[in-house]
């Protein structure tokens, strides 16, 4: 039987302004469009996995404001089970996002309810977590909760995929409990404290080796238009190319990728096959606007791959 994916992470409302470019510090520009979307790295990953047809649970928090019930409903509409999503006192998480004309973005997240996701809450969610075939986490919830999750995953023999976003220094004890560490280019630079360029195989290879030496069992670098780079212990490194696509909004491309990569691995595909599938899912997501609404169904991915 297919074991579920359990995502532990953030649930946000995205406030999205589109403009010709992302303003520099101190610059005021006129935007072209404003929309709200359901987002949050955790919720995006959960919706992406569920839309690909995989049974998926979300563990997280929404606030008791008007956004909270909408955010929970959006998860349910996306096919995600929300029994382990709590409504807490205070505001829901929000993200202020600017999108430039090539689909590039910058994001400020105000965590709100996500900051109240404690290790105690994970203890309450243990019956859901224990069923997982893969646990997916990111860093928009308190770090001590992610550390607890790492210990829980290791103790229960469940693989943990950690998307280190937003990037920050991570404790060695947590990294040792990570099965797949999946930073993008800028997050890799922060983690290894060196320049990394997707079009420079020497820099990506050395960064991936450095990350592998820091503890995780496997490393996958998400390199946007340059595809992804897989580094596993005692195996040759692999580069999986991206699919060429006209990007309109890169928001949540990394979330789409992580969810699809976990879905592929749980279906028994190899890391390179799962990464190719994930590159397709991410490519479709960047060709559409918004975070959760950009996630494709399995049928759409199969049609794209044909």
* Residues with active-site annotation: 255
Number of residues that bind ligand RIB (CB under 6 A): 16
- Near ligand RIB in 137-156, by CB under 6 A: 140
Is residue 10 within the footprint of ligand RIB (CB under 6 A)? yes
Is residue 39 within the footprint of ligand RIB (CB under 6 A)? yes
* Helix, strand counts (H, E) of the chain: 11, 13
Is residue 44 within the footprint of ligand RIB (CB under 6 A)? yes
For ligand RIB, the closer of residues 47 and 158 by Cβ is: 47
The nearest distance, CB 19 to ligand RIB, in angstroms, is: 17
Q: Which stretch binds ligand RIB (CB under 6 A): 7-15, 143-151, 177-185, 186-194?
A: 7-15
Is residue 86 within the footprint of ligand RIB (CB under 6 A)? no
Cβ–Cβ < 8 Å for 275, 230: yes
Helical (H) or strand (E) element with 94: strand 93-99
Angle subtended by helix axes 201-213 and 185-192, to nearest 10: 60
* CB under 8 A, 24+ apart: contacts of 163-169: 163/41, 163/45, 163/136, 163/137, 163/138, 163/139, 163/254, 163/255, 163/258, 164/138, 164/139, 164/191, 165/41, 165/138, 165/139, 165/140, 165/254, 166/109, 166/139, 166/140, 167/139, 167/191, 168/139, 168/143
For ligand RIB, the closer of residues 92 and 177 by Cβ is: 92
Binding mask 235-274 for ligand RIB (x = CB under 6 A): ----------------xx-xx-------------------
Total residues belonging to the chain: 306
Phi/psi at 144 (5° precision) = -65, -25
Is residue 80 within the footprint of ligand RIB (CB under 6 A)? no
SS3 at position 160:
strand
Is residue 59 within the footprint of ligand RIB (CB under 6 A)? no
DSSP states of 228-294 as a string? EEEEETTS--EEEPPPP---S--TTHHHHHHHHHHHHHHTT--HHHHHHHHHHHHHHHHTSSSSGGG
The nearest distance, CB 94 to ligand RIB, in angstroms, is: 8
For ligand RIB, the closer of residues 60 and 159 by Cβ is: 60
Is residue 40 within the footprint of ligand RIB (CB under 6 A)? yes
The nearest distance, CB 270 to ligand RIB, in angstroms, is: 26
Query: In this chain, which of 6, 7, 8, 12 binds ligand RIB, going by CB under 6 A?
Result: 12
299 Cβ neighbours under 8 A, 6+ residues apart = none
Binding mask 101-140 for ligand RIB (x = CB under 6 A): ------x-x------------------------------x
Is residue 163 within the footprint of ligand RIB (CB under 6 A)? no
Instruction: Summarize as ranges the residues that interact with ligand RIB (CB under 6 A).
Output: 10, 12, 14, 39-41, 44, 95, 107, 109, 140, 251-252, 254-255, 291
């Amino acid at each position: 039987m297919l074991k579920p994916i359990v995502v532990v992470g953030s649930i946000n409302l995205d406030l999205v302004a589109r403009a010709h470019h992302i303003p520099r510090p101190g610059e005021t520009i006129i935007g072209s469009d404003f929309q709200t979307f359901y987002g949050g790295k955790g919720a995006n990953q959960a919706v992406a996995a569920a839309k690909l047809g995989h049974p998926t649970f979300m563990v997280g928090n929404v606030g008791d404001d008007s956004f909270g019930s909408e955010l929970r409903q959006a998860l349910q509409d996306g096919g995600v089970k929300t029994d382990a999503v709590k409504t807490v006192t205070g505001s829901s998480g929000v993200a202020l996002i600017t999108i430039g004309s090539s689909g590039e973005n910058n994001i400020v997240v105000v965590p709100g309810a996500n900051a109240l996701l404690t290790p105690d809450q994970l203890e309450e969610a243990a019956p859901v977590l224990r069923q997982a075939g893969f646990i997916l986490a990111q860093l928009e919830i308190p770090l001590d909760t992610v550390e607890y999750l790492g210990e829980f995953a290791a103790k229960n023999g469940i693989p943990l995929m950690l998307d280190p976003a937003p990037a920050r220094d991570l404790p060695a004890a947590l990294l040792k409990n990570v099965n797949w560490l999946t930073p993008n280019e800028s997050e890799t630079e922060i983690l290894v404290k060196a320049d990394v360029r997707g079009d420079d195989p020497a820099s990506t290879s050395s960064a991936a080796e450095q990350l592998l030496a820091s503890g995780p069992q496997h490393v996958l670098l998400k390199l946007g238009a340059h595809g992804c780079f897989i580094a596993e212990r005692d195996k040759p490194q692999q580069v999986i190319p991206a699919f060429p696509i006209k990007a309109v909004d890169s928001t949540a491309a990394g979330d789409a990728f992580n969810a699809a990569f976990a879905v592929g691995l749980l279906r028994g595909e190899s890391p390179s096959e799962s990464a190719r599938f994930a590159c397709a899912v991410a490519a479709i997501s960047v060709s559409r606007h918004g975070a959760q609404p950009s996630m494709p169904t399995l049928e759409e991915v199969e049609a794209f791959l044909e």
